[in-house]
Structure 1
């Protein structure tokens, strides 16, 4: 049982999978929804402060390096472009836009991407973490509901 919870925790920390993979995994393997939800939330939120504080610096540092430079530059440009577009669309509602961006469990959205975008937009650390936390809670509710209903693709594969 502890191994399954540890797996839920680790899956929720992986970019792109995050809650979208962790909660269906836990439910599919018989773990109670509420405990799976809590473990997945903690695992998903753990990297957020580190991403906010260090990801931008690492990308900027690596932008001029020979092997990784093109990819890091692409990430920075994509993040700046997407961030500016979000900022222009959201205006003063940037907090809520970030919360919804993180909260809708689709590929390419989530705590990792949202936190990186907040960092590139120079959002306030506290506001960014709170928006990501709200989004992660929302995504967890959505994924928990879908998992219990048996809608997740992962649940269909495992069953």
Structure 2
């Protein structure tokens, strides 16, 4: 059971899946489905402070290197293109809804990058990201928890 929870948490902090992938994987295990939800949610929320630290400190160091800078600029352009209008127009609510959408390219990683790029106040951005992650996680959990019981 602990192994299943750890796998759920690892997928939930991964930029390849976040809780959108961690929850369905965790629900396939024998672990308590409510514990799976909490583990995935908490792990996904922890991404924000780690990413902010990375962007504020580590990123500045690595920007000296040409190959890193090229990749970072590519990511920044994509984040600005995908989130700029929504976040600048609606602020907190725009960021929250952007993070809440359970699709690839949205979520806490993109929300944190948008926070950094648009210089959004950190406490407000953390709250918007956390609320967005919560609703996204609830949607995914309900879909897979009840969907699997109907079809499995």
Superposition TM-score tier, normalisation by shorter sequence: 0.7 to 0.9
TM-score for both structures, normalised by structure 2: 0.86
Give 2:109's aligned residue. Answer: 112
Looking at structure 1, the residues matched to 27 and 81 of structure 2 have their Cα atoms a distance apart, in angstroms, of 37
Aligned residues: 150
Which of 119, 125, 145 is the aligned partner of 2:122?
A: 125
Give 1:99's aligned residue. Answer: 96
Give 1:139's aligned residue. Answer: 136
Looking at structure 1, the residues matched to 66 and 84 of structure 2 have their Cα atoms a distance apart, in angstroms, of 28
Deviates more, 1:61-70 or 1:8-17: 61-70
Looking at structure 2, the residues matched to 56 and 120 of structure 1 have their Cα atoms a distance apart, in angstroms, of 11
Looking at structure 2, the residues matched to 113 and 35 of structure 1 have their Cα atoms a distance apart, in angstroms, of 26
Structure 2: unaligned runs, 5 residues or longer: none
Structure 1: unaligned runs, 5 residues or longer: none
What's the RMSD between the two structures over aligned residues? 2.2
Deviation at 1:76, TM superposition (A): 2.5
Higher relative contact order (CA 8 A, sep 6+): 1
Residue 18 of structure 1 contacts residue 44 of structure 1 at CA under 8 Å; is this kept in 2?
yes
Residue 8 of structure 1 contacts residue 23 of structure 1 at CA under 8 Å; is this kept in 2?
yes
Residue 62 of structure 1 contacts residue 72 of structure 1 at CA under 8 Å; is this kept in 2?
no
Residue 63 of structure 1 contacts residue 73 of structure 1 at CA under 8 Å; is this kept in 2?
no
Deviation at 1:7, TM superposition (A): 0.7
Deviation at 1:41, TM superposition (A): 0.9
Q: 1:148 to 1:140 in 2, by over 3 A?
A: same
Give secondary structure in 1 for the equivalent of 2:67. Answer: coil
